[in-house]
């Protein structure tokens, strides 16, 4: 199944009899490149996303790309948002460059309804493998999220607030993450992200058809819901930002005025 199925099965496996063996068989792009990797298993509660869970590694992850051909366009977008996030985090320039090149082929392809679904199997497998390698390397360094693993939450502070406001219905996780990435990029300009890199990353997201707009939400209502985020400390709202592509900063305190400014810029440009 997808991320929800994998998270629920993993959470049950982690708690039943204090832990039983389980295998992840991801059948969506998001679960292949993100949720099946790293051992985070959790369920949502009324106060927020993934608030009850554990770190519990699967015995095996089996990804069959044939499953991807059954996906509707929204599910491709969902997974692509996490792939883009990984390409922003890695210092490996070739991973970002290869994703950009694959994305460019979308502009010449007639089937724009399901981005990446037209790629040759070997090319698709390569992009998935590269994305997984970014997350796997970070998890290997910090399995229980005491430090650098927190960078995998890039874009997720805003995304989780959006999902919570929608009661986890309507917008997919990836659609929320995409919008959250844009917010994070605007906030990152305050700590040194250059205009050139900002525009390059925005262009990649736009080419892939990822949603960049504010979806009608107001800054204050979102910021209020970020107060439940797990990364917060000492009453401060903390974001993952980028000094530059490949140089993430985690635990960056953000004020309501900074968030309002970033959200206003996002709304002005993308709606």
This prediction has a pTM of 0.92
In a domain, 87, yes or no: yes
53 in any annotated domain:
no
156 among known catalytic residues? yes
Active site residue 82: yes
Q: What total of structural domains would you count in the chain? A: 1
User: Which member of 85, 86, 127, 156 is catalytic?
Assistant: 156
Contact assessment for residue 248 and residue 149, using Cβ atoms and an 8 Å cutoff: no
Residue range(s) defining the domain that contains residue 78: 73-270
Assess if residue 1 is contained within a domain: no
pLDDT in tens, 71-125: 888 899 999 999 999 999 999 999 999 999 988 877 666 555 566 666 788 889 9
Q: Is residue 216 part of a domain?
A: yes
Query: Domain for residue 46, yes or no?
Result: no
**Per-residue pLDDT tens over the stretch 145-201:** 889 999 999 999 999 999 989 888 889 999 999 999 999 999 999 999 999 999 999
> Environment class of residue 241 by beta-carbon count within 10 Å: exposed (0-12), middle (13-18) or buried (19+)?
buried
Instruction: Determine, yes or no, domain membership for 51.
Output: no
The CA-atom distances, in angstroms, between 220 and each of 65, 142, 178 are: 41, 33, 19
Q: Is 91 a catalytic residue?
A: no
Q: Is 173 among the residues known to form the active site?
A: yes
CATH number reported for the structural domain that contains residue 98 in this entry? 1.20.1090.10
Q: Answer whether residue 35 is part of any domain.
A: no
């Amino acid at each position: 199944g997808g991320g929800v199925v994998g998270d629920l099965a993993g959470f049950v496996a982690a708690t039943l009899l204090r832990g039983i063996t389980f295998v992840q068989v991801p059948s969506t792009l998001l679960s292949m490149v993100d949720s099946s990797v790293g051992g985070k298993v959790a369920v949502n509660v009324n106060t927020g996303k993934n608030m009850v869970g554990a770190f519990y590694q699967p015995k095996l992850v089996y990804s069959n790309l044939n499953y991807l051909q059954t996906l509707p366009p929204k599910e491709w977008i969902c997974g692509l948002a996490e792939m883009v996030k990984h390409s922003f985090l890695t210092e490996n320039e070739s991973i970002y460059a290869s994703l950009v090149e694959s994305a460019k082929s979308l502009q010449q392809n007639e089937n724009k309804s399901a981005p990446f679904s037209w790629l040759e199997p070997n090319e698709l497998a390569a992009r998935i493998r590269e994305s997984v390698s970014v997350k796997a390397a970070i998890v290997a360094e910090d399995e229980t999220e005491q430090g650098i693993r927190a960078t995998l939450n890039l874009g997720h502070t805003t995304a989780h607030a959006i999902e919570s406001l929608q009661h986890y219905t309507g917008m997919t996780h990836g659609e929320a993450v995409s919008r959250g990435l844009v917010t994070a990029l605007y906030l990152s300009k305050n700590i040194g992200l250059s205009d050139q890199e900002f525009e390059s990353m925005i262009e990649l997201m736009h080419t892939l058809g990822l949603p960049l707009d504010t979806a009608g939400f107001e800054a204050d209502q979102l910021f209020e819901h970020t107060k439940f985020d797990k990364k917060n400390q000492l009453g401060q709202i903390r974001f993952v930002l980028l000094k530059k592509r490949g140089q993430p900063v985690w635990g960056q305190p953000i004020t309501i005025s900074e968030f309002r400014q970033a959200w206003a810029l996002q709304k002005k440009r993308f709606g």
